[in-house]
Amino acid sequence: MNSIDFGKIIEFWEGLGFRAFAPEDTDEFEWLDFCVVNAPFYELEKVCLWLNFEIYSVHHAYYDKGKTIGYENIDIDEFMAKMKK
């Protein structure tokens, strides 16, 4: 993923009404409604406090871990159709 990909992902989710970042007047950078991470380059626990990071996956920190969803068990066309509704 490169910086153009990051920007497009952020624009997509914000276009659906999600907020990416905390207001700029806060002291620290913080993701709000979603999180895009370039994993090798961040201290993951500090990037998004409401996610628990594992080797190849994340889950919400306040809920029990559920089924892992990945490229092998998701229909991207179906997912994108749901996102456009």
3 φψ region: left (φ > 0), alpha (ψ -120 to 50), beta (else): alpha
Q: In 24-37, which positions are buried (b, 16+ CB within 10 angstroms) versus exposed (e)?
A: eeeeeeebeebbeb
Domain containing 7 equals 3-83
Which residue in 36, 39, 48, 44 sits closest to 6, CA to CA?
36
Domain count, the chain: 1
| Strands (DSSP E) found in the chain | 51-53, 58-60
Highest average pLDDT, of 14-18, 38-42, 77-81, comes from 14-18
Residue 40 has pLDDT above 60, yes or no: no
**pLDDT tens digits for range 6-15:** 888 888 999 9
DSSP β-ladder status, 58-60 and 51-53: antiparallel
Q: Higher-confidence residue: 37 or 26?
A: 37
pLDDT grade, residue 39 (50/70/90)? low
| Whether the predicted model's global pTM rises above the 0.75 cut | no
